[in-house]
Structure 1
Amino acid sequence: MNRYEVLIFDWDGTLVDSIGRIVESIRVAARSCDLPQRDDAAIKGIIGLALPEAIAVLYPEVSDVAQVEVFRQRYSEHYLALEAQPSALYPGVAQALQAFRDAGYLLAVATGKGRRGLDRVLMGQGWEDFFDITRCADETASKPDPLMLHEILAYCGKRPEQALMVGDSVFDLQMAQRAGVDSVAVAYGAQSLDVLQQCRPRMAINRFAELGTWLRSAAGSEVNAYVG
């Protein structure tokens, strides 16, 4: 029997290699608003937050609602232009997710993306009905608030100890902690493993395919998860 029954994934930096596009789009939006540029580490440090919260962290001096809205619009316009060619899934993601489904796991997404953005990329992958439930930052509380996870668990009818959160940011792992959910840190995404380990994840992976190996070990029995 599987130790976990619900696998919950962040999107950007965990399933999809989109970090560079996010950083570029933040820079373009900042230039359009005559705001100072932040370095890569600072920008990567806000990935996972909803966009309004991310702007507030990067530019706490910006309090004008209209300027925040211009920043949001410029970011969205540039990111959408880049996504005319959708960001690629990380190696092994598609195979592993299908194998997890075949093994009987419930699959969920908990993301800082907006609903329109997530629906667009899911459609591009042909995954409109692939996940059992998805939750986005503009329809619930932003990470690291645990509300997203509470909603996913309620929908799935599962307890926190039956779920696992997989993410590449401290916001993912803090959200899991606050919800009483175990987590796996993704070391190839937005934030460094040293930072992520401060949140005490159960495991860190350097390739997505490693998740299947670890889940088999955690379950104490064989499951048909792709391990690459």
Structure 2
Amino acid sequence: MKLAVFDCDGTLIDSQVNIIRAMESSFQRHRLPAPDSHATRRIVGLSLVEAMQALLPEADHDLHLSLAEDYKTAFQRLRADKALDAEPLYPGIRSLLDTLDGQGWLLAVATGKSDRGLKLALEHHGIHHLFVSLQTADRHPSKPHPSMLHMALAEAGAKAEQAVMIGDTIFDIAMGEAAGVKSIGVDWGYHDAHELIDAGAAHVADDADHLLALLNG
């Protein structure tokens, strides 16, 4: 048995356009200067309240909560405007998932997205059915807490040594480390390859074909 647990934003799906738009809307609603796009990309993967805390460490908790709620509202509005078309799969990802499924891998997702947001994104790309476990921020502490990985392992009936965590941020790699699961980084997302290695990634994939080779190596 082999279990591949994928992060979503920055690993499977390039959703940065909508993430940046929603973040700008949230901050503008509070008459605050929006973080620049680089700062926003750096916090992708964290749960929303933790992301707001990272962006505004001096603000109080009530503001973090309010910003997170306004972000969700803005993101849902973008989705209603068919902005999912601005969230493509990264090159080669669909073929990679189909190949792994055909090889007998079990597939899962561990993401800072909500249940609703993840379902919409996966269904939009026609890949929802490929995953045996979907873990989100709605039911778990933020990454890098290992709770999402622990539940994915339990639902798949896999042991930590039979699994691999795949992600584009240091939060994904640290979550794998905390759960005792091998981690592989991808360099097409929001954190740099050297950061992923420093965080504990066993390897960093250059593209989907390289990732497939690493998984089957």
* Partner Cα separation in structure 2 for residue 200 and residue 37 of structure 1: 32
* Partner Cα separation in structure 1 for residue 26 and residue 55 of structure 2: 12
* Partner Cα separation in structure 1 for residue 157 and residue 136 of structure 2: 19
The answer for unaligned runs of 5 or more in structure 2 is none
Aligned residues of 1:115 and 1:136 also touching (Cα < 8 A): yes
Q: Residue 38 of structure 2 is aligned with which of 26, 37, 41?
A: 41
Provide the residue aligned with 2:71 in structure 1: 72
For residues 22-53 of structure 1, the C-alpha deviation after alignment (integer angstroms, 9 at most, x for no partner) is 12321222122111222233211110011121
> Number of residues paired by the alignment?
214
Aligned residues of 1:62 and 1:68 also touching (Cα < 8 A): no
- The question of 1:20 aligning with 2:17 is answered yes
Tell me the TM-score normalized by structure 2: 0.91
For 1:67, give the aligned amino acid. Answer: S
Query: Which is higher, the Rg of structure 1 or of structure 2?
Result: 1
The answer for unaligned runs of 5 or more in structure 1 is 218-228
State the identity as a percent. Answer: 34
* Partner Cα separation in structure 1 for residue 25 and residue 67 of structure 2: 14
Higher helix residue share: 2
Decide which moves more: 100-109 or 202-211.
202-211
Aligned residues of 1:23 and 1:40 also touching (Cα < 8 A): yes
Provide the residue aligned with 1:51 in structure 2: 48
SS in 1 for 2:208: coil
Higher RCO, Cα 8 Å, sep 6+:
1
Tell me the TM-score normalized by structure 1: 0.86
Aligned residues of 1:9 and 1:165 also touching (Cα < 8 A): yes
**Aligned-pair CA distance for 1:192:** 1.3
Q: 1:73 to 1:200 in 2, by over 3 A?
A: closer
**Aligned-pair CA distance for 1:73:** 4.1
- The question of 1:63 aligning with 2:61 is answered yes
